[in-house]
Chains A and B, each alone.
Chain A
Amino acid sequence: MTVRERLREKISAAFYRHGLLCASYPVPIILFTSASILACCYPLLRLPLPGTGPVEFTTRVRDYTVPSHEPQGDLGERPDWYRGPPVAYIQQVLVKAAVSPWDSTLVPVDVFRSPLGRVFSLLEEIRNHVHNDGSGVRSLEALCLQVTDLLPGLRRMQTVLPEHGCLLVSPGNYWQNQRELFDSDPDLLKTVHQHEPKGLHTSATLRDLLFGVPVKHTGVSLYSRKRVVTYTITMVLGSYDARFLSSLRARLRQLHPSVNCSLREDHMVHVHFKEEIGMAELIPLVTTYIILFAYIYFSTRKIDMVKSKWGLALAAVVTVLSSLLMSVGLCTLFGLTPTLNGGEIFPYLVVVIGLENVLVLTKSVVSTPVDLEVKLRIAQGLSNESWSIMKNMATELCIILIGYFTLVPAIQEFCLFAVVGLVSDFFLQMFFFTTVLSIDIRRMELADLNRRLPAEAGMPPPKPGPLRPREAPPPPRPSPYTITLQTPAFRNLRLPKRLRVVYFLARTRLAQRFIMVGTVIWIGILAYTDPAGLRTYLAAQVSEQSPLGEGGAGGLPPHLGVASVFPGPGGDPASTLSVLPAPAEPTPLPENQSQGHHGAPREGVPHQAQAPPLVPQISWGAEDEEGWRRLSFRHWPSLFSYYNITLAKRYISILPVIPVTLHLSPREAIETRHPQDTRHPPPPSLKTNDLPADLTLYKVAALGLAAGVLLVLLLFCLYRVLCPRNYGQNGVAHGRRRRGDLPCDDYGYSPPISEISPLLLRGHSMDIECLASDGMLLASCCLAGQIRVWDAQTGDCLTVIPKHGLRRSSSSGCWEQRDGGRVFDEDEGYPLRRRTTPRPALFEDQPDLTPLIDTNFDSQPPSHLLLTPPRDGFDFGGLVERAYLEHEPPSPGLTASYPSPSPPSGPPPQRRRSLGYIQPPVPQGQGTPDWESAVWAMELRGNLIAAGRSSGKLELWDAVEGSLRCSNEDGVSGITALAFLNNRIVAARLDGSLDFFTVDINKPLGLLQYRGDNIPPSPCYSSEDVISCQLTRSVQCAHQKPITVLNTHTHTYQVSQCGGQDGAICLWDVLTGSRVSHVYGHRGDVTSLVCTTSCVISSGLDDLICIWDRSTGIKLYSIQQEVGCGASLGVISESLLVTGGQGCVSFWDLNFGDLLQTVYLGQSSDGQGVRQLVVLNNAAIVCDFGSELSLVYVPSVLEKLD
């Protein structure tokens, strides 16, 4: 146990040091890692590229012996596959035939009918050829490769391909090798064509197989220009007999001498075929790769909380891939050549090595404390996970070790690779990935800092005190109000299915990516399998151009470099001949002989007589020497595959061709004619020669055009179906309302921006601190303490309650609060949080007091204020107080005079039956305590204004008359938030407690019964009523920090919410005063709270708007706003949220969290942020900009309601 723990400690310490190292020197370490990766991958260069193309090896015919199975020491250049006998030897007889001289009486069919007809006699000749020497009689039957059934799926080829016998293919197979069938065939071309597959084909077709030369070169066509027919008779031999073959060669040569033929006959080419990837193999392979990609996707998706997700994901994948490459490289270096199919085992290797460690590392590092230094974070994250990483690694190594002892070679090899891969992966994780991670984390912190800095600059420095000099106003943030939508973890979009599908497609660009990937894969497959023989073609090109190839007498392209073993074998043909036994001894065959003689003289005479273009030239060039090269490299595998013989990982030997030249007389051609042949129209001269090619071109073009038109039409229809609405109609109200259904931001549509000039309510001299409304009336209170009551419909100012404001605008209370707030902030350890303040009125706008003092109380010169040392805020409070004192005389007068003009004209004190703490002794009793306190919270219900003061006093004012109706001084701690609900008032205090008050109205009508229902918006308290306010219940320590917001909602439950500076949001039952639920969501203070029937919306200092489910208390989603914008919130309807910004308001769809519209509020409010926002009767929005109120009617909101 102790050993284990000691080990654990040691490992942890080592990882810690290593993390420090990596984070300290990122660049050198990355360089070092890259260098080591490259060094380890270097041996890979020596490995042949994996490919399916065949590999060739050339030997001489003369001293050829079947290679033995055992590797015989060092055989020089001999490749390792060249062992044992080949699958088959291929002997081709290349026939070039022409009717010469060409007669104008001949029809086009004559070009190929009689030359093809000669194949039967040739076949007979070959079949019957017998070589007899001392050792015995050999015929083709004995030597050839005997084949059995064709594959079951190839029944249709049964008539054409040989079964149960020698594998001997020639064009004669089309007619079952029977001359009679050929002669009676009215249309040869049709017979040939009917076996062709329809459509595109990349591999060998039957025609290629039988003719043995590419279709183009056969000359079997009505439009052949050269009038030379070329075809081969292909013999597939099971065993090699040099003497038989050479006698056959000599015999054919004797029968059909090729005059100008100088083909080299001394080399045989062994072609080794790689394992072929067929469709059947490709499907599982593709499946494994898809699974692999899904694995990588799901793994890297978990990387979170980093600067660049993609970068880290890439780094993770690079880590795994390069560790695999390194493992292969290292294994090669130590002499282990991979025999496994790399492509097949690769996905499994990746899966075995896995991305888990990388993810665990990332997670661990990310979850370390943010305030640590990057170095330490990396080190700590590493050391936290060190033990589990080591444990996992040990387990995996053990498993692989067990796998090694299965003693199955393939599994052993896999395990070996896996072990080396695991070790190198560990190395890369430790060096490469950790370093990348450290860089990333550093970048993130830098970005974080940058994001925070402007915010900090915009905030008044906390030390200098509230009266910040005017010369340094907060720099206006020039950035327009933009909202960055944080994609929530899930978004339940209530969209039509089709739109969702289309949005998904559009968002992920799935179609494009799919097509792109498809194209890349297709091109890759094409390049890989090389069906068009591109590689061969290129090799041929290269060999033609290179001097080496020319030096080699034009033959033998240097494939694979093996060919260079035999440089320039000059005059060997003769030697080959000399080896041959005396030709034509055993087989008399007089018939053939005579024919051959017959042809020869004919050939000679007209050659000179006829005009040159009429004599088809039969020429033998270097390209004929290895005519099979021009075929698809699948030619042989597919031929063998028909008989279920695989050439994969095996080789065949191709013997030098036997050239046969046939010259036929026109007479013979006419004799062999079929009666129907003449019906073919004669070729309409040279012009038509290009016709077929052109025709296909036109066909392709027409098809392409048609397809394009069809596609366009289809897309158009699709568009009409999917997008029936006109998105362009911006101004039409109907269109905008529809827009509400569409989530905009997430899909690249920018939400519309419009401008409205609001109705401005002016009158306050200082910044507005509190705003309250009950729909009809609107009460506002500015920093100076002046309360104004407005008509919410017209914007007229109804009442002004000024005096308390003048008194109380002394900022002593605020100072206290401010200091408290700062202390709290520092306690919480969020130094950065301080820059934004939740209640601008309370904290941030403190400095704005200066303008007021300057303008209203001229006695205080600004310089005087400037000189005040920053630390003594209280002194300064006293200073201001003194300034107020000078104006004291007018203020009582004001108090006295104001109530009087109002109709009820100052309620007579005797009427009020005081029920406790009442006002009648009013003005003085009130004035004294109010002297020092500021209004921190205000609520308006009916015609009662509830005002909470910093002194802890709760006051009820008559909104119309402007008279104080009631006051309660139960608490000492300042009231930071108020909620007025029916006859209940909830007050939140600075000390975090929550007080529940009941308002009793002594009136016979018994308005008490209103609980549970909505209060009628009309004023319901007449001035005659005696109003009392009683503390019914108090909850101490509701929050641990001051409560900043309080809100009530009466729809379904009587619940009030409050959010505190501790970032908590509590739901309380108003009736009982008990807490219903409690959620934490914000990292700083909660600054604003609204609710609908289903959800609670809160915003906090962190500029995050959170939407919570009300009943369950679970966060649905959150919206990250711009810095400093999150304070004001309002709900217009169940699904429409309005937030304030810099000179604008934004509308959000609550269901989806999407920005619907941003409305700029005229010029006057530019650059000023909305601090408070109140929604009136769901029809208008009131927001404050400094000392002005803006009343905005939003037309779309009205629509939204119906």
Chain B
Amino acid sequence: QSTVRSGSGQTNPSRGTYIAVITNRSTTLVIRGFMLFSIGVFLALVLNLLQVQRNVTLFPPDVISSIFSSAWWVPPCCGTASAIIGLLYPCIDCRLGEPHKFKREWSSVMRCVAVFVGINHASAKVDFANNVQLSLTLAALSIGLWWTFDRSRSGFGLGVVIALLATLSTQLLVYNGVFQYTSPDFLYIRSWLPCIFFAGVITMGNIGRQLALYECKLMSEKTHQD
């Protein structure tokens, strides 16, 4: 009897969800993308501020100008990237057919974001003896982040790939002179950039998955209501 119940309980909502997703999938996708984009922009600005404190000027004459001290297109780029990543993760989960079950809660996501900011903070504020040490520490922290909050192989793979690509593209940009590191120590930035990218990808993926999950829930509830 219980099997029948569970069976009937599950098939129906999934069908309903499917229908609802078909009907207004694009709008929810846009909303999700926008949310991820704004989160990305916000984080980019804040974290940029952290780095600004360390390297550029000790006393930025104006807060507003220091927020936007880097090129104007950097935050939108970060936002776009985070939107893409945040949408990509649930999509890949879906494709691989292994839905992400690990710690699907907002509190966990918040913890993840906090740790991510902490990693940035550490890279900006803590004085390391040399760049190797910095790289190693940050790498350990990033992988710890992945282990604590993600633990999916797809997440790790995607994170590594995107981090490498992003580092490469920044390097290319710098070589072409579009963008310049503000720090005189060139190696210094190169040493933390991939780790930060990796941690960022994991974080954004986490947020994106949670949003997708929330959406799913909302969707199914809506269908029930209808």
Q: What 0/1 readout, one digit per residue, does chain B (134-146) give for beta carbons within 8 Å of chain A?
A: 0011001000100
Interface centre among A295, A402, A642 (most CB of B within 10 A): A295
**B226: nearest residue on chain A (CB-CB)?**
A1094
Are B58 and A641 in touch, CB under 8 angstroms? yes
Would you list the 9 A-B pairs with minimal beta carbon distance, nearest first? A153-B61, A295-B110, A298-B107, A641-B59, A1112-B12, A279-B63, A298-B106, A299-B107, A410-B126
Are B225 and A492 in touch, CB under 8 angstroms? yes
10 more CB-based (< 8 A) A-B contacts, given A153-B62, A278-B59: A153-B61, A284-B50, A302-B105, A348-B121, A351-B115, A355-B107, A407-B129, A492-B222, A1080-B5, A1112-B16
Q: What 0/1 readout, one digit per residue, does chain A (1066-1086) give for beta carbons within 8 Å of chain B?
A: 000000000001111000000
Q: A287 CA to B117 CA in the complex, in Å?
A: 9
Are A411 and B137 in touch, CB under 8 angstroms? yes
Are A408 and B129 in touch, CB under 8 angstroms? yes
Are A344 and B121 in touch, CB under 8 angstroms? yes
How many pairs of A and B residues are in contact by the CB < 8 Å rule? 137
Q: What 0/1 readout, one digit per residue, does chain A (279-303) give for beta carbons within 8 Å of chain B?
A: 1110110011001101100110110
Instruction: Indicate if B118 sits at the interface (CB-CB under 8 A).
Output: yes
- Given contacts A351-B114, A490-B221, A1114-B224, is CB(A287)–CB(B66) below 8 Å? no
* CB-contact partner of B12 in A402, A406, A1094, A1113, under 8 A: A1113
Q: What 0/1 readout, one digit per residue, does chain B (88-123) give for beta carbons within 8 Å of chain A?
A: 000000000000000001110111011101100110
**B118: nearest residue on chain A (CB-CB)?**
A348
Contacts of A644 in B (CB 8 A): 57-59
Q: What 0/1 readout, one digit per residue, does chain B (60-101) give for beta carbons within 8 Å of chain A?
A: 111101110000000000000000000000000000000000
- Given contacts A154-B61, A347-B114, is CB(A1112)–CB(B5) below 8 Å? no
Rounded to whole Å, the gap between the CB of B17 and the closest CB of chain A is 10
Rounded to whole Å, the gap between the CB of A763 and the closest CB of chain B is 44
Contacts of B136 in A (CB 8 A): 406
Are B111 and A295 in touch, CB under 8 angstroms? yes
Q: A648 CA to B58 CA in the complex, in Å?
A: 10
Contacts of B109 in A (CB 8 A): 298
Are B118 and A1114 in touch, CB under 8 angstroms? no
State how many residues of chain A have any CB contact under 8 Å with chain B.
Answer: 53
Instruction: Indicate if B127 sits at the interface (CB-CB under 8 A).
Output: yes
Are B121 and A288 in touch, CB under 8 angstroms? yes
Are A351 and B57 in touch, CB under 8 angstroms? no
Q: A347 CA to B116 CA in the complex, in Å?
A: 12
Instruction: Indicate if B128 sits at the interface (CB-CB under 8 A).
Output: yes
Are A1078 and B8 in touch, CB under 8 angstroms? yes
Rounded to whole Å, the gap between the CB of B218 and the closest CB of chain A is 8
- The residues of B with any CB-CB pair to A shorter than 8 Å are 1, 4-5, 8-9, 12-13, 16, 46-47, 49-50, 52-53, 57-63, 65-67, 105-107, 109-111, 113-115, 117-118, 121-122, 125-129, 133, 136-137, 140, 144, 218, 221-226
Q: A1116 CA to B225 CA in the complex, in Å?
A: 7
Interface centre among A278, A284, A292 (most CB of B within 10 A): A284
Rounded to whole Å, the gap between the CB of A290 and the closest CB of chain B is 10
**B50: nearest residue on chain A (CB-CB)?**
A284
* CB-contact partner of B13 in A281, A292, A1114, under 8 A: A1114
Instruction: Indicate if A517 sits at the interface (CB-CB under 8 A).
Output: no
Are A351 and B144 in touch, CB under 8 angstroms? no
Instruction: Indicate if A445 sits at the interface (CB-CB under 8 A).
Output: no
Contacts of B49 in A (CB 8 A): 280, 283-284
Rounded to whole Å, the gap between the CB of A387 and the closest CB of chain B is 18
Q: A644 CA to B113 CA in the complex, in Å?
A: 33
Contacts of A364 in B (CB 8 A): none
Rounded to whole Å, the gap between the CB of A681 and the closest CB of chain B is 39
- Given contacts A291-B117, A406-B137, is CB(A302)–CB(B8) below 8 Å? no
Contacts of A288 in B (CB 8 A): 114, 117-118, 121
Interface centre among B50, B61, B67 (most CB of A within 10 A): B61
Are A399 and B53 in touch, CB under 8 angstroms? no
Rounded to whole Å, the gap between the CB of B112 and the closest CB of chain A is 9
* CB-contact partner of A399 in B4, B52, B59, B144, under 8 A: B144
* CB-contact partner of A283 in B46, B59, B62, B122, under 8 A: B46
Are A1112 and B122 in touch, CB under 8 angstroms? no
28 sampled A-B residue pairs with Cβ under 8 A: A154-B61, A280-B52, A283-B49, A283-B63, A288-B114, A292-B114, A298-B109, A299-B107, A302-B107, A344-B125, A348-B114, A348-B121, A351-B118, A407-B129, A408-B128, A408-B129, A410-B125, A492-B225, A642-B59, A648-B58, A1078-B5, A1079-B9, A1109-B225, A1111-B16, A1112-B12, A1112-B16, A1114-B12, A1151-B225
Contacts of B122 in A (CB 8 A): 410-411
Instruction: Indicate if A908 sits at the interface (CB-CB under 8 A).
Output: no
Contacts of A410 in B (CB 8 A): 122, 125-127
Q: A644 CA to B128 CA in the complex, in Å?
A: 23
Are B224 and A408 in touch, CB under 8 angstroms? no
Contacts of A1112 in B (CB 8 A): 9, 12-13, 16, 223-224
Rounded to whole Å, the gap between the CB of B21 and the closest CB of chain A is 15
Interface centre among B50, B58, B63, B121 (most CB of A within 10 A): B58
Instruction: Indicate if A221 sits at the interface (CB-CB under 8 A).
Output: no
Are A1116 and B224 in touch, CB under 8 angstroms? yes
Instruction: Indicate if A860 sits at the interface (CB-CB under 8 A).
Output: no
Q: What 0/1 readout, one digit per residue, does chain A (332-365) give for beta carbons within 8 Å of chain B?
A: 0000000000001001100100110000000000
Are B107 and A295 in touch, CB under 8 angstroms? yes
Contacts of A294 in B (CB 8 A): 106, 110
Contacts of A1077 in B (CB 8 A): 8, 12
Instruction: Indicate if A33 sits at the interface (CB-CB under 8 A).
Output: no
Are A1078 and B4 in touch, CB under 8 angstroms? yes
Rounded to whole Å, the gap between the CB of A192 and the closest CB of chain B is 22
Rounded to whole Å, the gap between the CB of A147 and the closest CB of chain B is 14
**A351: nearest residue on chain B (CB-CB)?**
B114
Q: A1112 CA to B16 CA in the complex, in Å?
A: 8
Contacts of B113 in A (CB 8 A): 291
Contacts of A1078 in B (CB 8 A): 1, 4-5, 8
Rounded to whole Å, the gap between the CB of B72 and the closest CB of chain A is 17
Are A1111 and B117 in touch, CB under 8 angstroms? no
Q: A734 CA to B140 CA in the complex, in Å?
A: 68
- Given contacts A294-B110, A1109-B224, is CB(A151)–CB(B8) below 8 Å? no
